[in-house]
């Protein structure tokens, strides 16, 4: 007898759908009218969204009853599909400025002496906040008039607060950390929440929410003679101020480049810091690389409250050399669980090969007190291939030094005999990564089909890559590149590469239907969620994913394509993404990306050519606000 999902009772379809992700549920609803009616039922959509995408903007809108859960599920699906396929919903120039910060969909930019704010997710028009120099001049230099000039750098925005660094030059040079409220209910003079003089601006960063502000500098010398990070906290609320000015020095926390070797964030009431370095000096004899992760509670920034784990597995050095210039380190938050994980993209010469390939890795964060058994360090993402080793997850305090934890070295390795008292080797058994935690870009193929003349897909060198990002929800690499093959023959100045997006994504591979299995073994593999034999990616690995060809947007623009394109659409997206295309460079480009958009600033690299440029937004949310 022929069976069909559409003929099953609704209760059974409901239970089946709870095991599906957002994308699978939305795709299944497109197959027939019966399943569309069942899967678009509001209570089922609410269950799926709260289980699989509870920490998205769409889920928040549904909880506030601004949209239905059915609409929320469709918006999440359409947004992820648009990004993974490289099909933006619209492109627009949102402002002109000299600097900007972008976070949680809010864009704040500086134009001349004015600060403007745009809620990119809410569709608001640019709103002027204040004349920043007029307000600050009386705060940082009271009584000095206009005799000193102010240099302003935007640092961070979150929850209605903007932080910036102000540097004065002239008779007296000073640096200040300033926090401003962006509420539209305040006048210019009422916006300043904090103005603190800071001793150093070396690698200055700031992270904050509406209650606490933390900033750090790479400026304190350690006992080993190398500079270390020092973190200072400020309570922005007056109800529970800190009794003194807390200062936490991150001892033996190696790395100085934010976004490459170290990263910082706030999450769920904690300050987090991570480093992918293990030693200040180059170790001639070493086996394993680890992440060093530190956290402490925002409301209690004392040294005895700092937790540290310097044994979060990263890689084996035997896996091959790493191109340090391509490393991108940061934190990622899961849209379903709100779990914070370490995310790192790096280019490697895998197994000593001659070709370097880029891979994005994720690693879970663990601290000792979260588990009764410290040997669980390597579960949830890694499978040990040897004897386990005890991780040194300790509390950083003078009474419990981390040096009391001893780590074994590999048995029978000839390099062990070369070690002396000056060496600081690191070793752990090889850990096999599960496919969900690594995405190899080499599994994607370049588009060489009939549309190649339009897409023009290729690999780009570092100097031509202006943004390197990864979106975990859609499993997509997102690059903003300069393509010098575009606009050939259209009068564009030589050396001006056109900006284009380069996107490669993957998605879980569907199970092979049981009725077409070639053997009992294949059937068992399908039931267990494994791909059938013979189904492999370009590297020959059965990792349970299908890899899309690398796509680029907008299409290559040549005289022939301009003639073939309808008059009203001739290169509109291309010209909007490249406001500088007919001007002579060089150009400075600053770019950021989140789960639904890419924002970048294009301005002259030389100050004599002006200090301002266009800010472009490429939106991947078909249901989001449209800007003209």
Highest mean pLDDT, choosing among 90-104, 112-126, 541-555:
90-104
The distance between the two most distant Cα atoms of the chain, rounded to a whole number of Å, is: 91
CA distance 499 to 616: 11
Q: At 375, give phi and psi (nearest 5°).
A: -75, -5
Instruction: Write out the two tokens for 405.
Output: 């934890």
Sign, Cα dihedral of 368, 371, 375, 378: negative
Instruction: Write out the two tokens for 602.
Output: 């294009």
Higher pLDDT, 377 or 48: 48
What tens digit of pLDDT does each residue of 167-206 get?
Answer: 887 667 889 999 999 988 888 778 899 999 999 999 999 9
Instruction: Write out the two tokens for 203.
Output: 């690698």
Q: Which of 22-26, 400-404, 621-625 has the lowest mean pLDDT?
A: 400-404
Q: What is the mean pLDDT of residues 606-623?
A: 85
Say if residues 152 and 133 touch (Cβ distance below 8 Å): yes
CA distance 273 to 536: 37
What are residue 467's DSSP bridge partners?
480
Spell out the residues 6+ positions from residue 258 whose beta carbon is closer than 8 angstroms to its own. 203, 205, 264
Please tell me the predicted confidence (pLDDT) of residue 377.
36
What tens digit of pLDDT does each residue of 295-335 get?
Answer: 999 999 988 899 999 999 999 999 999 999 999 999 999 99
User: Residue 207, SS3?
Assistant: strand
Q: What is the CATH number of domain 5-85?
A: 1.20.1280
In this structure, the number of other CB atoms found within 10 A of the CB of residue 337 comes to 12
Say if residues 351 and 320 touch (Cβ distance below 8 Å): yes
Side by side, the strands of the sheet bearing 90-97 are: 90-97, 613-619, 597-604, 587-593
SS in 3 state form for 514-569?
Answer: HHHCCCHHHHHHHHCCCCCCCCCCCCCCCCCEEECCEEEECCCCCHHHHHHCCHHH
Higher pLDDT, 582 or 142: 582
Please tell me the predicted confidence (pLDDT) of residue 26.
92
Q: At 5, give phi and psi (nearest 5°).
A: -60, -35
Q: Could you tell me the pLDDT band of residue 245, with boundaries at 50, 70 and 90?
A: confident
Summarize the chain as % helix, strand, coil (round to 5): 20, 35, 45
| CA-closest candidate to residue 169, choices 145, 155, 151 | 151
The pTM of this model reads: 0.87
Strand locations in 334-475 (E): 340-348, 357-364, 382-384, 393-395, 431-433, 438-440, 465-471
Q: What is the mean pLDDT of residues 127-153?
A: 75
Please tell me the predicted confidence (pLDDT) of residue 331.
97
Name the average pLDDT for the chain. 82
* Cis peptide bond upstream of 586, omega within 30: yes
What tens digit of pLDDT does each residue of 434-470 get?
Answer: 999 999 998 988 765 555 445 556 789 999 999 999 9
CA distance 79 to 22: 11
Q: Which of 75-89, 377-391, 507-521 has the lowest mean pLDDT?
A: 377-391
Please tell me the predicted confidence (pLDDT) of residue 559.
62
DSSP 110-138: EETTEEEEEETTTTPPPEEEEEHHHHHHH
Q: What is the mean pLDDT of residues 23-36?
A: 88
Say if residues 99 and 116 touch (Cβ distance below 8 Å): no
Cα-Cα-Cα-Cα torsion 10, 13, 19, 21, nearest 10 degrees, comes to -100
Placement of tokens 């934010």 in the chain: 258
Residue 36 has pLDDT above 60, yes or no: yes
Please tell me the predicted confidence (pLDDT) of residue 13.
86
Q: At 403, give phi and psi (nearest 5°).
A: -70, -10
Q: What is the mean pLDDT of residues 107-131?
A: 87
Q: To the nearest whole percent, how much of the chain has pLDDT over 70? A: 79
Please tell me the predicted confidence (pLDDT) of residue 401.
32
Side by side, the strands of the sheet bearing 192-197 are: 149-158, 161-169, 174-181, 192-197
Q: Which DSSP state fits 419?
A: -
Say if residues 362 and 339 touch (Cβ distance below 8 Å): no
Q: Could you tell me the pLDDT band of residue 562, with boundaries at 50, 70 and 90?
A: low
Which residue ranges make up each domain of the chain? 5-85, 117-315
Spell out the residues 6+ positions from residue 477 whose beta carbon is closer than 8 angstroms to its own. 345, 358, 360, 439, 441, 468, 469, 470, 502, 503, 504, 505
Q: What is the mean pLDDT of residues 510-519?
A: 57
User: What's the residue count for the chain?
Assistant: 628
How wide is the angle at C-alpha 257 spanned by C-alphas 256 and 260, nearest 5°?
Answer: 130
Please tell me the predicted confidence (pLDDT) of residue 589.
94
What tens digit of pLDDT does each residue of 474-493 get?
Answer: 999 999 999 887 776 555 55
CA distance 299 to 163: 19
Higher pLDDT, 512 or 388: 512
Please tell me the predicted confidence (pLDDT) of residue 73.
96
């Amino acid at each position: 007898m022929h069976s069909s999902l559409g003929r099953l009772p609704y209760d059974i379809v409901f239970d089946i759908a709870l095991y599906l992700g957002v994308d699978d549920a939305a795709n299944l609803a497109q197959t027939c009218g019966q399943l569309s009616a069942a899967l678009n039922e509001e209570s089922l959509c609410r269950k799926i969204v709260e289980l699989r995408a509870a920490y998205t903007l769409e889920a928040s809108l549904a909880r506030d009853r601004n949209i239905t859960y059915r609409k929320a599920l469709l918006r999440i699906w359409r947004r992820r599909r648009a990004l993974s396929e490289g099909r933006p919903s619209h492109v627009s120039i949102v402002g002109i400025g000299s600097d900007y910060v972008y976070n949680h969909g809010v864009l704040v930019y500086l134009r001349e002496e004015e600060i403007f704010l745009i809620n990119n997710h809410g569709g608001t028009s640019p709103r002027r906040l204040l004349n920043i120099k007029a307000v600050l001049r009386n705060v940082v230099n009271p009584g000095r008039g206009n005799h000193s000039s102010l240099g302003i750098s935007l640092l961070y925005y979150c929850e209605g607060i903007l932080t910036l660094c102000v540097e004065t030059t002239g008779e007296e040079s000073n640096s200040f950390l300033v926090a401003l409220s962006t509420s539209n209910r305040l006048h210019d003079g009422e916006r300043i929440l904090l103005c603190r003089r800071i001793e150093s601006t070396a690698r200055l960063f700031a992270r904050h929410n509406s209650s606490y502000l933390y900033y750090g500098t790479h400026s304190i010398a350690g006992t080993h003679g190398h500079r270390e990070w020092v973190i200072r906290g400020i309570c922005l609320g007056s109800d529970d101020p800190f009794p003194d000015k807390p200062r936490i020095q991150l001892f033996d926390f190696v790395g100085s480049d934010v976004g490459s070797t170290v990263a910082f964030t706030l999450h769920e009431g904690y300050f987090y810091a991570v480093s992918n370095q293990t030693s200040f000096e180059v170790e001639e004899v070493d086996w394993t690389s680890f992440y060093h992760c530190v956290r402490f509670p925002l409301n209690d920034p004392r040294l005895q409250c700092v937790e540290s784990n310097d044994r979060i597995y990263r890689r084996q050095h035997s896996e091959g050399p790493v191109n340090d210039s391509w490393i991108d380190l940061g934190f990622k938050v899961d849209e379903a669980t709100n779990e914070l994980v370490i995310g790192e993209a790096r280019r490697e010469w895998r197994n000593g090969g001659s070709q370097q390939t880029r891979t994005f890795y994720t690693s879970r964060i663990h601290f000792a007190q979260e588990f009764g058994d410290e040997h669980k360090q390597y579960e949830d993402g890694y499978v040990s291939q040897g004897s386990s080793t005890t991780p040194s997850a300790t509390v950083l305090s003078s009474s419990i030094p981390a040096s009391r934890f001893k780590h074994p070295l590999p048995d029978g390795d000839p390099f062990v005999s070369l070690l002396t008292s000056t060496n600081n080797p690191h070793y752990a058994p090889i850990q096999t990564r599960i496919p969900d935690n690594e995405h190899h870009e080499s599994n994607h193929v370049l588009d060489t089909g009939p549309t190649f003349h339009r897409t023009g897909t290729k690999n780009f060198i570092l100097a031509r890559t202006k943004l390197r990002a990864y979106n975990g929800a859609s499993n997509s690499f997102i690059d903003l590149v300069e393509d010098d093959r575009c606009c050939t023959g259209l009068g564009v100045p030589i050396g001006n590469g056109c900006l284009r997006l380069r996107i490669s994504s993957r998605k879980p591979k569907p199970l092979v239907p049981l009725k077409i299995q070639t053997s009992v073994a294949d059937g068992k593999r399908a039931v267990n969620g494994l791909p059938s034999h013979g189904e492999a990616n370009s590297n020959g690995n059965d990792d349970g994913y299908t890899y899309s060809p690398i796509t680029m947007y907008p299409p290559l623009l040549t005289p022939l394509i301009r003639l073939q394109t309808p008059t009203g659409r001739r290169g509109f997206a291309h010209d909007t993404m490249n406001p500088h295309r007919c001007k002579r460079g060089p150009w400075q480009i600053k770019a950021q990306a989140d789960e639904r958009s890419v924002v970048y600033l294009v301005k002259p690299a030389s100050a004599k050519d002006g200090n301002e440029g266009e800010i472009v937004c490429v939106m991947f949310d078909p249901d989001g606000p449209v800007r003209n």
